[in-house]
Amino acid sequence: AQSVSQHNHHVILSEAASLELGCNYSYGGTVNLFWYVQYPGQHLQLLLKYFSGDPLVKGIKGFEAEFIKSKFSFNLRKPSVQWSDTAEYFCAVNALYGNNRLAFGKGNQVVVIP
Amino acid sequence: KAGVTQTPRYLIKTRGQQVTLSCSPISGHRSVSWYQQTPGQGLQFLFEYFSETQRNKGNFPGRFSGRQFSNSRSEMNVSTLELGDSALYLCASSPLVGLGANNKNEKLFFGSGTQLSVL
């Protein structure tokens, strides 16, 4: 079974600070990797995804994530956060050629102080 | 295109009752998945339906069931409610079953959820 670990559940930082959220998964095969974001009062939406190719993936709103296969990691980064980045961020994993069953991490609650 | 629509938005029930939640996927999407979101456990997969058939099931007791209709709309039912069933239930739709390498543009589209409180 796939499992996903996200550390530092609560993150508080100031505007313009850099953000990095860790995501590690346990699955021996090839995976599809996702970061979803849930802004206050809104539904979950896709931030970025990795299926294959360049392990450095660019997403919306200046976010990027790097897939490191040897470390089973897919960390999310943003060089300079804004107040509007306050949200909960979820990492998710899905087995290649599997199904729509995503295994989610427990999320990172990020608060950006203006 | 309208997004994924879930009804009702909020629901309050008491222990022992049963509840039915509804999800209308994005037009043209044939796959509907259900997830339970709680502060302690995060998002956990319940089940997935495609063409009126359950394709995948998570590790939830039999009290949790679902179905999908010919128009791809889906319902989720929870019987004999327990306090621990209080959660946000999310529905997600996608055009296809599977997120294989050839489906690079596929992703899940989530609804706003039904917040269930069991008293």
- Asked if B108's CB is within 8 angstroms of A102's CB, the reply is yes
A109's tokens: 């609650």
Hey, are the CB atoms on A99 and B94 less than 8 Å from each other? no
- A31 vs chain B: nearest CA distance in angstroms? 9
The proportion of chain B whose per-residue pLDDT surpasses 90, expressed as a percent, equals 72
Q: Residue B101: its pLDDT value, please?
A: 47
- Report the residue of chain A nearest B101, measured CA to CA: A51
Chain B positions touching A106 (Cβ under 8 A) are 41-42
Q: Which amino acid is at A86?
A: T
Radius of gyration (C-alpha) of chain A in whole angstroms: 14
Q: What is the mean pLDDT of residues B1-26?
A: 95
Range with top average pLDDT, A55-69, A97-111, B45-59: A55-69
How much is the mean pLDDT over chain B?
90
Cross-strand partners of B91: B34
pLDDT at residue B1 in the model: 66
Check whether B87 has a pLDDT greater than 80: yes
Q: How far is residue B57's CA from residue B81's CA, in Å, rounded to a whole number? A: 19
Q: Which residues from B are below 8 Å from A97, CB to CB?
A: 98, 100-101
- Mean pLDDT across the stretch A6-35? 91
Q: Is the peptide bond between B8 and the residue preceding it cis, with omega within 30 degrees of 0?
A: yes
What is the Cα–Cα distance from A36 to A91, expressed in whole angstroms?
A: 6
| Closest CA of chain A from B33, distance in Å | 7
Residues forming beta bridges with residue B32, ordered by sequence position: B49, B93
B-chain residues near A105 (CB < 8 A): 42
Tell me whether A10 touches chain B (CB under 8 Å).
no
Residue B90 is inside which H or E element, if any? strand B87-94
Does the beta carbon of A59 lie under 8 angstroms from any beta carbon of chain B?
Answer: no
Q: Tell me, what's the pLDDT at B13? A: 97
Interface test with A, best of B43, B91, B106 (most A CBs within 10 A): B43
* A44 interfaces chain B, CB cutoff of 8 Å: yes
- Report the residue from A32, A97, A104 with minimal CB separation from B42: A104
Rounded to an integer, what distance in angstroms lies between the CA atom of residue B62 and that of residue B36? 15
Residue B88 has pLDDT above 90, yes or no: yes
Mean pLDDT of the B56-74 span = 94
Q: Which of B48, B92, B98 sits opposite A97 (nearest CB)?
A: B98
Res A32 pLDDT > 90: no
Verify whether the Cβ–Cβ distance B100 to A107 is below 8 Å: no
Residue A8, pLDDT score: 77
B90 in Cβ contact with B37 (< 8 Å):
yes
d(CA B21, CA B76): 5
Q: CA B49, CA B32: separation in Å to the nearest integer? A: 5
